[in-house]
Structures are given as structure tokens and as C-alpha cells.
């Protein structure tokens, strides 16, 4: 009887543990995301990634805004992405841009004359920063989002949160 009770408890713990992991998975509408850098591995099946370049972002901002739901710039391109020539592109996109693994948030990317290496680390636990400029010529209105890994780092949960943000902005 005791073995059956222990087996039951073990199965119950396993089921509860597995179901908690699935609770954080993004289950919203299908999203298409342009990526500058390595395509991330995610657990969601309703996310499509498309490679692009900083040059394409700069010269085809309007098309990208219509064709994809967001832009992700991966860590290996952050130093190049801070160049002043891209500031206007980030500001004119009508979709959010996510700077992945930027501990210096969005500041060096959306402000001219500011270099990534010149900014202090704002948050060492920061995994991603999102930016969307909704302002006009008369009014400044910027939306930013920050995603940290926390004490129990789970990158997949952070990606799921980013996908939920993308969906909420595009609705």
C-alpha cells in the first residue's frame, strides 16, 4: 500500500511540474519575426523567423513593418546596430524592435551620438529590451519593454513573454 501511495505522489508531482512548464508557452496567433543574427530556438510552433540584415532594415523599413510583426537583433550584432545610420529606421518602424541580451537597454540604438560601449550596464540580468516609437513630430511617445531572466533563468519563458508583447502591440 505504501509503494502505491509513493508512486501516486511521484506521478502527481511529475504531472504538476510538467503542466506548470506548459503554462508559460505563448499560444496566441501566428507571428512572423525578422531576425538579424542567429535564429533563436524556441518551443512555440506558431512562430516563424525570417533572416534579415541591418542594411535591409535601413532601406526597407516600410516593407518590414508590413511583412513581419517584430524585429529581433541578436547579441552578436548589437555593436553594429548602435550605428547612427540605423537610428531613423528604429524610430520609423511601426513594429517593435527587440535588442536581445542588451544589458544597456535601448538607449545606444535609438539616440544619435551614443555608442553601445559608452553606456553603462543598466541591468546585468536584462535578457531583452523592446522598443517602439509611436511619437509624432510634435510629441515624443516611446514604448519600451525589459525582460530579465530572474533567479531561475528560463530563456524560453522570456521568449514567450516577448511573443505575447508582440501580439498585444500588433492588435
Question: CA-CA distances (angstroms) from residue 119 to 108, 123, 127, 131, 147?
Answer: 7, 11, 16, 17, 19
pLDDT tier at 8, thresholds 50, 70, 90:
very low
Q: What percent of the chain has pLDDT over 90?
A: 61
124 by DSSP, 3-state: which? coil
Q: Which of 24-28, 104-108, 134-138 has the lowest mean pLDDT?
A: 134-138
Nearest CA among 15, 19, 44, 40 for reference residue 29: 44
Q: In angstroms, rounded to a whole number, what is the distance separating the alpha carbons of residues 82 and 94?
A: 19
40-63 pLDDT, tens digit per residue, is 999 999 999 999 999 999 999 999
pLDDT tier at 12, thresholds 50, 70, 90:
very low
84-102 pLDDT, tens digit per residue, is 999 999 999 999 999 999 9
pLDDT tier at 159, thresholds 50, 70, 90:
very high
Q: Bridge-partner residues for 70, per DSSP? A: 33
- pTM, two decimals, is 0.82
The two beta strands, 70-73 and 97-100, are parallel
153 by DSSP, 3-state: which? coil
Mean pLDDT of 112-130: 85
The pLDDT mean for the chain works out to 85
Q: In angstroms, rounded to a whole number, what is the distance separating the alpha carbons of residues 165 and 171?
A: 10
CB within 8 Å of 16: residues ≥ 6 apart:
none
Say what the pLDDT of residue 41 is. Answer: 95
Amino acid at each position: 500500500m505504501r509503494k502505491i501511495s509513493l508512486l501516486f505522489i511521484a506521478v502527481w508531482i511529475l504531472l504538476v511540474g510538467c503542466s506548470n512548464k506548459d503554462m508559460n508557452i505563448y499560444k496566441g496567433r501566428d507571428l512572423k519575426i525578422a531576425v538579424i543574427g542567429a535564429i533563436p530556438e524556441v518551443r512555440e510552433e506558431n512562430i516563424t523567423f525570417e533572416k534579415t540584415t541591418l542594411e535591409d532594415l535601413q532601406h526597407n523599413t516600410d516593407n518590414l513593418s508590413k511583412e513581419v510583426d517584430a524585429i529581433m537583433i541578436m547579441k552578436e550584432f548589437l555593436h553594429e546596430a548602435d550605428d547612427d545610420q540605423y537610428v531613423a529606421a528604429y524610430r520609423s518602424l511601426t513594429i517593435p524592435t527587440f535588442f536581445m541580451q542588451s544589458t544597456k537597454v535601448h538607449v545606444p540604438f535609438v539616440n544619435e551620438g551614443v555608442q553601445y560601449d559608452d553606456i553603462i550596464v543598466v541591468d546585468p540580468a536584462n535578457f531583452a529590451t523592446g522598443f517602439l516609437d509611436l511619437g509624432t513630430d510634435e510629441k515624443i511617445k516611446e514604448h519600451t519593454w525589459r525582460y530579465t531572466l530572474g533567479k531561475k533563468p528560463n530563456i524560453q519563458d522570456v521568449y514567450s513573454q516577448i511573443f505575447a508583447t508582440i501580439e498585444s502591440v500588433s492588435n
